[in-house]
Amino acid sequence: MNKWLKVGLVLIPVVLMSACGSTGAKKAAPVTGGSTPPADTANTSPLDNNGGAGITPLPQTGGSASQSVDPLNDPASPLAKRVIYFEYDSNNIRAEDRATIEAHAQYLAQRGNLKVTLEGHADERGSREYNIALGERRSNAVKEVMSLLGVPAGQVASVSYGEERPAVLGDDESAWRMNRRVEIVYAGQ
């Protein structure tokens, strides 16, 4: 039913001018290059530098003799875990991740000046904008738990990258389960 038309195509170039080499460099086509993003995050400076006076705030108050380390930087602290993983097409927080979220919520609730961004991600299956929505569902699920635990909304931002920033490249479940995630990112870190 789809008739194939046979076409014989002959185009004989007849160059009239005696050509001197090629026709020269290509000039810019209608599509312009140019537009560079104004604020590419990779090029901006970090927000949380401690001023310019060289004054370092003491991390502790009161008379404790022991040197306290910020638990955020303690690899043994539950705060060291910053990634929450999810099942396929799900935003349910698994029981084993509750303690991690609680630890972060507690830490944040005690430090009103600290801010985190919850970055939601999805695996590569499905359409890209749907996965943006799915990633947002996940970051909102984590945000909701934090909110129930007393973290003010102003301390928690969320952004969904969908499938655009995979943690692991691969096209099977071993990669996908590492990509269905929410990353807890502290400002300035």
Partner 1 sequence: MPFAVGGDPLLPVDVAEVVAADLKRSGRFAPLPRQDMLSRPSETAQVNFRDWRLVNVESLVIGRVNRTGAGYTVQFQLFDVFRGVQLAGYSVRSDADGLRRAAHQIADIIYETLTGEPGAFNTRIAYVTVAQLADGSRRYALEVSDADGYDPKAVVNSKQPLMSPSWAADGNRLAYVTFENKRSQIYLQNLVTGQRELLTSFAGINGAPAWSPNGRELALTLSKDGNPEIYVMDIASKQLRRVTENLGIDTEPAWAPDGRTIYFTSDRGGSTQIYRVAATGGRPERVTFEGSYNARATVSADGKSLALINRDNSGDHIAVLTLQSGALKVLTDGRFDESPSFAPNGRMIIYATRTANRRGVLAAVSVDGGVQQRFSAREGDAREPVWSPMRQ
Give me the residues paired with residue 116 across strands: 156, 186
By the rule CB under 8 A, 30 interacts with partner 1: yes
Residues, the chain:
189
For partner 1, the closer CB: 13 or 57? 13
Phi/psi of residue 56, nearest 5 degrees: -105, 120
For partner 1, the closer CB: 36 or 61? 36
How many Å apart are CA 153 and CA 144, to the nearest integer?
A: 9
Tell the smallest beta-carbon distance from residue 10 to partner 1 (Å): 5
For partner 1, the closer CB: 104 or 120? 120
Residue with tokens 């590492």: 178
How many Å apart are CA 167 and CA 174, to the nearest integer?
A: 12
Tell the smallest beta-carbon distance from residue 170 to partner 1 (Å): 8
Which residues does 145 contact at the CB level (< 8 Å), separation at least 6? 93, 98, 101, 102, 105
The span of 17-25, 73-81, 107-115, 144-152 binding partner 1 (CB under 8 A) equals 17-25
For partner 1, the closer CB: 3 or 63? 3
The residues binding partner 1 (CB under 8 A) are 2-17, 19, 22-24, 26-27, 29-43, 117, 124-130, 132-134, 136-137, 158-162, 164-165, 169, 171
